[in-house]
Amino acid sequence: MIEKIELIKKEIKNFQITNEKQLEAFRLEFLSRNGKVQEMFGMMGNVPNEKKAEMGKAMNKVKILAQEKFEDSKSNLQSASRKEFGAKDDITLPVEPTYTGSFHPLTQALDEIKQIFLRLGFNIADGPELEDDFHNFTALNFPPDHPARDMQDTFFVRKSDQPDEQDLVLRTHTSPVQIRLMKDQQPPLRSIMPGRVYRNEAVTAKSYFQFNQVEGLYVDKNVTMGELIETLVMFAKLMYGSDVKYRVRPSFFPFTEPSIEMDVWWENEKGGQWLEILGAGMVDPNVFEAVNVDPEIYTGFAFGMGVDRIAMLRYGIDDIRLLYENDLRFLNQFKS
Ligand code: PHE
């Protein structure tokens, strides 16, 4: 009997398993219901009682040997096949979707505006969103009783009745950055100044309490109105296409004289309409005096445009609030 057990043990040890077929053959030969291990246990009936314990132990060892060989071979074969593909994971599984971000339509419109003015020789400057009265109003030649200085129109962060303490406001336009630039640097100056601005307006599809502007300033000797208009026309053509229909109208701003506004023709289902895209003008001599630039030597032009309006025209967005709600269903449409 013991020889029989030893023989099976030898067979198990010598069995070659190098592929799936051999693995299955091994299982059938030794571990299946009619396999040799089971057959061996079947011989227990012939073993005399006093030998049963000893034989049982020996048989169990053989059974464990066969099971271990089977499991080891199986996992060796699996890792070998993984190595063959050079991958640790199951490469047939579907990949996890990846979600990439995208630039906000305002950022995209602003980038285009910046690129155009960089090509025209402007550099980029910026200034604070919390401004004092001097930079936001006084230096820009706003008279003391100008309606913009009213709480109805402007967010005041500090209203002061002390003569030596200034009112603080959330800037209502980017023009105060002009003042900071001219205080800091001597002409010639040629900069654009993008930034967020705030106005105390009711929220509707067309107006919001915050929006974005790009200011432009060019100061040098002999800067003319002709150059201003040429710059603006060049901008309109590069932004809206060389066939853009535009017009320039006289207007008024406290800090420019003369002042103009530029409109572009916007085609729509109802035919089309003129849309104002920017305000501009020649820097008022009073502004130069407030920042100690001699208006007898220097002239300059300035312009200011709304980025939101440009983004809305460009992408056919009809409600400004969409630009500030950060709804992914909206933003995902602007992936490039
Ligand atoms: N600051 C003006 C506005 O907010 C725009 C402007 C800028 C007009 C520069 C003229 C010159 O409406």
Task: Write the pLDDT tens digit of every residue in 135-156.
Answer: 999 999 999 888 888 877 999 9
Residue 131 has pLDDT above 90, yes or no: yes
| Rounded distance from Cα 298 to ligand 1 centre (Å) | 20
- Specify the residue with its C-alpha closest to ligand 1, atom 10: 280
Polymer length in residues for the chain? 336
> Is there an atom of ligand 1 within 6 Å of 178 CB?
no
| Rounded distance from Cα 321 to ligand 1 centre (Å) | 22
> Is there an atom of ligand 1 within 6 Å of 304 CB?
yes
Determine the residue of 122, 140, 170, 175 to mutate for testing ligand 1's pocket, defined as the one with the most ligand atoms within 8 A of the Cβ atom: 175
pLDDT (0 to 100) of residue 215: 98
Residue 118 has pLDDT above 90, yes or no: yes
| Rounded distance from Cα 159 to ligand 1 centre (Å) | 24
> Is there an atom of ligand 1 within 6 Å of 127 CB?
no
pLDDT (0 to 100) of residue 66: 93
Q: How far is CA 168 from the centre of its chain?
A: 32
pLDDT average, residue stretch 153-181: 94
Tokens in use for 249? 């109208």
> Is there an atom of ligand 1 within 6 Å of 173 CB?
yes
Determine the residue of 253, 283, 287 to mutate for testing ligand 1's pocket, defined as the one with the most ligand atoms within 8 A of the Cβ atom: 253
Give the whole-number percent of the chain exceeding pLDDT 70.
Answer: 98
> Is there an atom of ligand 1 within 6 Å of 280 CB?
yes
Tokens in use for 305? 């445009």
pLDDT per position as a tens digit, 211-264: 999 999 999 999 999 999 999 999 999 998 999 999 999 999 999 999 999 999
| Domain segments of the chain as ranges | 2-83, 105-334
> Is there an atom of ligand 1 within 6 Å of 253 CB?
yes
pLDDT (0 to 100) of residue 149: 84
- Any known ligand binding at 112? no
- Give the mean pLDDT of the chain: 92
What is the pTM for the complete model shown?
0.72
| Rounded distance from Cα 216 to ligand 1 centre (Å) | 9
| Rounded distance from Cα 214 to ligand 1 centre (Å) | 9
pLDDT per position as a tens digit, 36-51: 999 988 888 888 889 8
pLDDT average, residue stretch 57-62: 92
Under 8 Å between Cβ of 36 and 9: no
pLDDT (0 to 100) of residue 213: 97
> Is there an atom of ligand 1 within 6 Å of 175 CB?
yes
- Specify the residue with its C-alpha closest to ligand 1, atom 9: 303
> Is there an atom of ligand 1 within 6 Å of 135 CB?
no
Query: What pLDDT band is residue 173 in, cutting at 50, 70 and 90?
Result: very high
| Rounded distance from Cα 325 to ligand 1 centre (Å) | 26
Q: What is the CATH number of domain 105-334?
A: 3.30.930.10
| Rounded distance from Cα 209 to ligand 1 centre (Å) | 17
Residue 86 has pLDDT above 70, yes or no: no
Determine the residue of 140, 173, 179, 256 to mutate for testing ligand 1's pocket, defined as the one with the most ligand atoms within 8 A of the Cβ atom: 173
Query: What pLDDT band is residue 87 in, cutting at 50, 70 and 90?
Result: low
